Amino acid sequence: MAKVRGAVVVDKEGCKGCGICVDVCPHDVLDLNLEVNSRGYHYSYMKNPEACIGCSNCGVVCPDTCLTIYRVRV
Amino acid sequence: MDIKDIIKPENLVYQKSDVQIDTIMHYCPGCTHGVVHKILSELIDEMGIQENTVGVAPVGCAVFAYNYIDVDWQEAAHGRAPAVATGIVRTNPDKFVFTYQGDGDLASIGAAEILHACNRGENMLVVFINNGIYGMTGGQMAPTTIDGMVTSTTPGGRDIALNGYPMKITELIAQLPGTSYVTRQSAQNAGAVRKCKRSLKKGIQNVLDKKGTSFIEVVSTCSSGWKMTPVAANRWMEENMFPFYPLGDLKDGSKEPNLSKN
């Protein structure tokens, strides 16, 4: 069975740490970082990058459009 | 496989639309305005109408929409966006004109303007963001505040005996003969955002086909005004707003033919 791998690139400065991407991710890939960006928000990051399937749910719901999604078949 | 091997231009599946200006929005974290701005930008980009689009911004948080969507904009006085849009669409009938309004703007001070613009069947799209409060000014009660909802001016919850009934303005507008497409959507998860995008696309297409007014309500959250986290606000909206504001199409067709000629 072909496996799909994905990756999420977060614009750290654009992220406001609302956590909606973490809530909608079906594979618990994303989480909010303990570190903050220059505006003091706990930006989103890939906690579990191996599990990402590149479904782009996180990108679709992101209110600040700071997620870029890549997907590849391996 | 390393992450660096996945992040290549040929594997790109989702990115910011070119119509959306590359700037950080002033909206609070988790605000639905950001999502609706994004899907509007994507649709304007996909349908190739950027040069032909005129937006009319409201008074409210979305007053700065011109900073985020790269089309022509006009700012209107509080609630008067449909009246200003009427002028624009009548002098430029080939333009795609839309108004973008909140519930305090559209359902309260602008109630007369929106009802009459829809009744005249002006050829424009109305995007109505309904979060049940006046978000920008500090979360006061709006006409759309649901029964029992706590706001800064109803700290004990809205009391219908004292404050009157919440207003379903979309149901009112669906009865008007000038409207072609009236729907209520939301944007709290990926499925809802994709449905909302399909509805907005249909609304834009109706305007391009000159079918009359298309009216799209988006039931939204205001996490700052509701004093909740963005994720909790989405849950609260699903549990409390959706029973009163059921999602779905209320009218789908085209405006009535000229009644006086019958």
Mean pLDDT of A21-37: 94
* pLDDT of the residue at A1: 57
> Do B166 and B254 touch, CB atoms closer than 8 A?
no
Strand A4-10 relative to strand B179-186, pairing: unpaired
Residue-wise pLDDT for A8-17, tens only, equals: 999 999 999 9
- Chain A residue numbers with beta carbons less than 8 Å from the beta carbon of B135 are none
* pLDDT of the residue at B262: 44
Dist. CA B231–CA A24, nearest whole Å: 10
* pLDDT of the residue at A58: 95
ipTM of the complex: 0.93
| Domain span at A15 | 4-73
Dist. CA B57–CA B92, nearest whole Å: 18
* pLDDT of the residue at B172: 94
* pLDDT of the residue at B260: 54
DSSP state of B69: B
**Does any CB of chain B come closer than 8 Å to the CB of residue A28?**
no
Domains and CATH numbers, chain B: 25-118+161-217+230-253 (3.40.50.970)
- Chain A residue numbers with beta carbons less than 8 Å from the beta carbon of B222 are none
* pLDDT of the residue at B75: 94
Beta-carbon separation of B5 and A72 below 8 A: yes
Residue-wise pLDDT for A40-64, tens only, equals: 999 999 999 999 999 999 999 999 9
- Chain A residue numbers with beta carbons less than 8 Å from the beta carbon of B231 are 18-20, 22-23
Strand B133-134 relative to strand B140-141, pairing: antiparallel
Task: List residues bridging with B55 in a β-sheet.
Answer: B73, B98
Residue pLDDT tens, chain B, 262 long: 788 889 999 999 999 999 999 999 999 999 999 999 999 999 999 999 999 999 999 999 999 999 999 999 999 999 999 999 999 999 999 999 999 999 999 999 999 999 999 999 999 999 999 999 999 999 999 999 999 999 999 999 999 999 999 999 999 999 999 999 999 999 999 999 999 999 999 999 999 999 999 999 999 999 999 999 999 999 999 999 999 999 999 998 877 766 554 4
Q: Element (H or E) spanning B195, and its range? A: helix B190-208
Residue-wise pLDDT for B73-102, tens only, equals: 999 999 999 999 999 999 999 999 999 999
**Does any CB of chain B come closer than 8 Å to the CB of residue A14?**
yes
Domain count, chain A: 1
> Do B68 and B37 touch, CB atoms closer than 8 A?
yes
Pairs across A and B, CB distance < 8 A? 103
Burial of B257 from C-beta contacts in 10 A (0-12 / 13-18 / 19+): exposed
CATH number assigned to the domain comprising residue A31: 3.30.70.20
Nearest to B192 by CA among A36, A69, A2, A23: A23
Residue B42's φ and ψ, nearest 5 degrees, are -60, -45
B170: left (phi over 0), alpha (psi -120 to 50) or beta: alpha
Pure H helices in B30-124 = 32-46, 81-91, 103, 111-120
